C-alpha cells in the first residue's frame, strides 16, 4: 500500500465514496420498444449513472434517445411534462441549442438511422419525494454529432423505475444502470 493511502487509512478509515455499483445491465439484440429498469435501488442512492453503448435503430432516420420516469414501479411511465435544454455540435464546427419546456421524455441524445450512438447520463434525486428529479448527459453519434445538456421533471415525487426508449424500436444496445455510493 502506498504511504499516502496508509496515512489516509490511519486517519479514521477509508470511505468508498463515489464508487459505481452496478444495479443492472440490459443487452438488446433484436427490435425492442424500450429497456425498463424497475429495480433501481433508489433508496440506496441519491445519484444514478446510466451508460448507453452501441445504441442503434435500423429504421426511422434521426430519432431521439430518451428516458421516462415511473412512480409506480414500472406499471406506467410519465409521458408528459419533461423539460430539456442541450447543445448539439457537429464535426464541421457548427453548434445549436435545443430546448423544450413540454416534452414527452427526457432527451439524452440522438441516433441517425443505422449509425450507432453512445453516451452517459447522471440521474439525480430519483428517490427524494421533496425534490425534482433531473439529469445531465453527454451523447455522441458515429457521424460526429454530439449532444450535451440537462433535463428535469418539475414535479417532486419518488421515481422508482426508468425506461430508456427511442422514437422507433431499439435494434442494438447495451444499457447499464449504476448507483453511486455515498458511504
Q: What is the residue whose three cell numbers read 408528459? A: 80
CATH number at residue 153: 2.60.120
Which residue has better confidence, 18 or 14? 18
pLDDT at 8 over 50: no
Provide the pLDDT confidence category of residue 1 given band limits of 50, 70 and 90: very low
Contact 150, 135 (CB under 8 A): yes
In a domain, 2, yes or no: no
CA distances to 14, 51, 79, 86 from 143, rounded to whole Å, are 43, 19, 29, 18
In a domain, 4, yes or no: no
CA distances to 14, 64, 70, 126 from 103, rounded to whole Å, are 43, 12, 15, 19
Look up the domain containing 72 and give its range. 20-180
The overall average pLDDT reported for the chain is 88
Q: What is the pLDDT of residues 71-122, one digit of tens each?
A: 999 999 999 999 999 999 998 999 999 999 999 999 998 887 778 889 999 9
Q: How many domains does the chain have?
A: 1
- Please tell me whether the overall predicted TM-score, pTM, comes out greater than 0.75 for this model: yes
Gap between the Cα atoms of 59 and 82, Å rounded: 26
Q: What is the pLDDT of residues 17-50, one digit of tens each?
A: 778 999 999 999 988 999 999 999 877 899 999 9
Residue 94 phi, psi (nearest 5): -90, 145
In a domain, 11, yes or no: no
In a domain, 55, yes or no: yes
Amino acid at each position: 500500500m502506498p504511504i499516502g493511502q496508509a496515512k489516509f487509512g490511519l486517519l479514521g478509515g477509508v470511505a468508498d465514496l463515489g464508487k459505481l455499483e452496478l444495479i443492472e445491465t440490459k443487452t438488446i439484440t433484436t427490435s425492442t420498444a424500450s429497456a425498463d429498469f424497475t429495480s433501481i435501488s433508489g433508496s440506496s442512492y441519491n445519484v444514478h449513472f446510466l451508460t448507453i453503448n452501441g445504441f442503434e435503430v435500423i429504421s426511422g432516420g434521426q430519432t431521439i434517445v430518451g428516458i421516462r420516469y415511473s412512480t409506480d414501479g414500472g406499471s406506467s411511465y410519465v409521458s408528459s411534462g419533461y423539460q430539456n435544454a442541450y447543445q448539439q455540435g457537429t464535426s464541421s464546427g457548427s453548434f445549436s441549442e435545443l430546448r423544450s419546456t413540454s416534452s414527452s421524455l427526457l432527451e439524452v441524445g440522438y441516433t441517425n438511422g443505422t449509425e450507432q450512438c453512445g453516451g452517459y447520463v447522471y440521474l439525480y434525486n430519483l428517490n427524494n419525494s421533496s425534490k425534482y428529479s433531473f439529469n445531465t448527459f453527454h451523447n455522441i453519434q458515429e457521424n460526429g454529432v454530439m449532444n450535451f445538456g440537462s433535463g428535469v421533471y418539475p414535479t417532486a415525487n419518488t421515481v422508482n423505475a426508468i425506461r430508456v426508449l427511442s422514437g422507433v424500436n431499439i435494434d442494438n444496445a447495451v444499457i447499464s444502470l449504476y448507483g453511486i455510493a455515498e458511504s
